[in-house]
Chain A
């Protein structure tokens, strides 16, 4: 019976981390004093499955630690213990500790034993305190059932059926759990072991007589055998503490032989551990998908197959009269493909609550560290976005939230003096807008201090001494590298690395951050992100014989150029007067060194697009179709190219480049420095 348990490890860890999240959320929601039993139950169940899983996979440290937590939760569930702030805090810290333990086990690192031991002691202390306090309730229970008896010896007869191993159970684990309850002595009965020639290694031939010295309840023992209830004969009898049951003589004789068998089973555990070391190298992330999404996909595939068979039937004896039906069929195929694409993309979509869930805890902890009163309001947690985007937006979000807490919301006394309610409000909103997801982080704190930002920026040489900037620009300064206005550098934020990283991360995802802030009233950070990184709506454009793609989302308008609106600055930079503003013109053929149909501005078109909050005009020969394109990386086999964000494959199988507007703007600046006068000649 050698199942490679390591293949299930990844699932266990994923489930456990999910379980921990559930516990954390649950604990945060608990009303002190009057906790909802259902909620405690949810937390308890999560802890219980982690313990069970850890026991199964032989992570004994994790199992025994969780066991203590579980006992505490169990008492809360039964109502024998009050839900106190102290207990909840301790449980929260334990959840953290457990998470670290699991990560350590996952990464095959040493568990921080000191910390674990200390916490476990704390938990046990609280448990001990509690049992004294709730003694009176215990008495009531005792009289009602025979479950709670202390200081007894249990004799357990455990006779597994021969197919026990096939159900995936292993007695060793149960023994390990029993051991946690108290002093354990067991005798093994080996008489059923057949001669070697008939020995089936996948059958179970052993049975045990166990005596357990423990003051646990029968229910606790039952629980250990819960999984094998159907697959064994189990008798649990309470023996008097002083009566030492003599095992049958025959058993003692064969005990040595049995030891060998049991040992063999036990030795298997380290072997499994060694195997995992190799397996974790190629771990892959997985994603949980609702069955409704899968069902929808299967329906779609069904339709696709029908359409395909219809088309192939038609092609067998195709007559020219059928052309209409063929067109219909192809339309249908197109529809099917598009729907399927949307559905497959749906699978990668997760509600943003996965990312938001950590904030109640974070805010609570930070607020108490900082001594502030903060209420967190969240909305739109069910807004969905791509898994990759979600993973990458997590850290920047944390940073922004910490920032709002630390620098934004003031101390209670300051708030009171300013005539604001003492409790500061931090809002996290998420919603869809067009093809984007928008995340807002709103605080009702002090707002950005323009004076301080300016003086700091001058100090760091980010802006000139007498430079005057509009509010928007001043606010954007906080995203400059090495910028921090925090008077005191705290461990929360204020080291000045951060906001620029936030900005960069968001930009890498193709998103933008906007700041609105009013002194004394509060700040709003708005993050706009594309829903997915894999597909974008593109506008195909042509320059000479080359086709490029501009992300449709950044295009504002396209227009024919009227020469009288063209202006030049110092003979170099071209500007175009668009209604009442001037935008800079970038000639794509010059940036990319390709031959266009015409260099005359009035022969081509100007695509006005937004890049980093500014409008730019791209001079191209022609606009072509709009279509969805699948983004492929150029860096996989080549390298990053200036002005290009990736490539895609068009319907005819050729490759087209996707333009990166901020990159193009940078390229244009670089070119203008190196090539001074060529533009002029081109226009003339």
Chain B
């Protein structure tokens, strides 16, 4: 609840938008800051327990009951292959609306902490640099700098895309 209110105030502060500006909700994950399109955010929940799905990839923490809807929850740290940590007081689930393959789905993502809401002019968005085959960057939409800190803007639709293929691999 508290976080929700915080969000409201933040978005109000940023209401003086430029025409080409988009708003992003940013969050922390292992010290790095990431952003997602704020229009896709359905809600932010405190982390509670989830029911495990058998034989699912380990980054899939399970499913939760979101007011009668069954929503899968992905640990973004594990998804990115980062070190697993114990969940703390700031650990939250960002529930996002994800669209791919003509299907709209609701998926929760566990992150270390929510940070801020930014309005970013589209011309300040930098395309991700080519990193060869080392990292699959399909789900990175762009980079931007806020107060000299890099923020990675994620394309959540693609995030699930690649995730599904990973999921299928581990299942079969």
Contact = CB atoms under 8 A, between A and B. Distances in A.
A546 B52 contact: yes
Given A647-B70, A655-B65, A638 B51 contact: no
B56 interface: yes
Given A647-B63, A655-B64, A655-B65, A636 B70 contact: yes
B55 to A, nearest CB: 6
Nearest to A654: B51
A542 to B, nearest CB: 13
B107 interface: yes
A632 B70 CA distance: 7
B117 to A, nearest CB: 25
B54 A592 contact: yes
Interface string A631-653: 01110111101111001010001
A633 B105 CA distance: 12
Nearest to B72: A638
B146 interface: no
A639 B164 contact: yes
Contact of A642 (B55, B63, B69, B72): B55
Interface in B49-91: 49-56, 62-65, 68-72
B53 A641 contact: yes
B167 interface: yes
Interface string B20-52: 000000000000000000000000000001111
Contacts of A591: 54
Nearest to A648: B70
B119 interface: no
Nearest to B64: A655
A393 B55 CA distance: 33
Contacts of B53: 634, 638, 641, 644, 657
Interface string A648-672: 0100011111000000000100000
Contacts of A632: 68-70
Nearest to B168: A639
Nearest to B164: A639
Contacts, number: 66
B106 interface: yes
Contacts of B56: 641
A492 interface: no
A213 B113 CA distance: 84
A657 B51 contact: yes
A633 B52 contact: no
B92 to A, nearest CB: 18
A244 interface: no
Residue picked from B50, B53, B62, B105, most chain A C-beta under 10 Å? B53
Given A633-B70, A634-B70, A642 B171 contact: yes
Contacts of A657: 51, 53-54
Given A637-B105, A637-B106, A592 B55 contact: yes
A428 B87 CA distance: 60
A215 B72 CA distance: 72
Contacts of A594: 52, 54
A145 interface: no
A593 interface: yes
Interface in B82-119: 105-107
The number of chain A residues touching the other chain, given as a range, is 20 to 34
Interface string B154-172: 0000000000100100010
Interface in A584-629: 591-594
B54 A656 contact: no
Nearest to B66: A637
Contact of B70 (A546, A637, A642): A637
A591 B53 CA distance: 12
Contacts of A643: 54-55
B46 to A, nearest CB: 14
Contacts of B107: 637
Contacts of A656: 51
A674 to B, nearest CB: 11
Contacts of A667: 55
A45 B77 CA distance: 68
A655 B49 CA distance: 10
A593 B55 contact: yes
Given A639-B164, A641-B53, A641-B54, A634 B105 contact: no
B55 A641 contact: yes
A655 B171 contact: no
A655 B63 contact: yes
Contacts of B171: 642
Contact of B65 (A546, A642, A644, A654): A654
Contacts of A649: 65, 68, 70
Nearest to B51: A655
Contacts of B72: 637-638
Nearest to A655: B51
B65 A637 contact: no
B70 A593 contact: no
A546 B50 CA distance: 11
A593 B170 CA distance: 13
Given A632-B70, A654-B49, A638 B63 contact: yes
A636 B51 CA distance: 16
Given A654-B65, A655-B63, A637 B71 contact: yes
A172 to B, nearest CB: 42
Contact of B54 (A593, A638, A639, A655): A593
Interface in A397-414: none
B147 to A, nearest CB: 36
Contacts of B164: 639
Contacts of A634: 53, 63, 70
Nearest to B60: A638
A535 to B, nearest CB: 14
A653 B48 CA distance: 11
Contacts of B64: 655
A649 B63 CA distance: 11
A579 to B, nearest CB: 31
A608 to B, nearest CB: 21
Interface in A418-463: none
Nearest to A637: B105
A592 B53 CA distance: 8
Contacts of A637: 69-72, 105-107
Interface of B: 49-56, 62-65, 68-72, 105-107, 164, 167, 171
23 contacts: A592-B54, A594-B52, A594-B54, A633-B70, A634-B70, A636-B105, A637-B71, A637-B105, A637-B107, A638-B70, A639-B164, A641-B53, A641-B54, A641-B56, A642-B54, A642-B55, A642-B171, A647-B51, A653-B65, A654-B49, A654-B65, A655-B63, A655-B64
Given A637-B105, A643-B54, A644-B54, 5 more contacts: A634-B63, A654-B65, A655-B62, A657-B51, A657-B53
The 8 closest A-B pairs by CB, nearest first: A592-B54, A655-B51, A638-B72, A637-B105, A649-B65, A647-B70, A632-B70, A655-B63
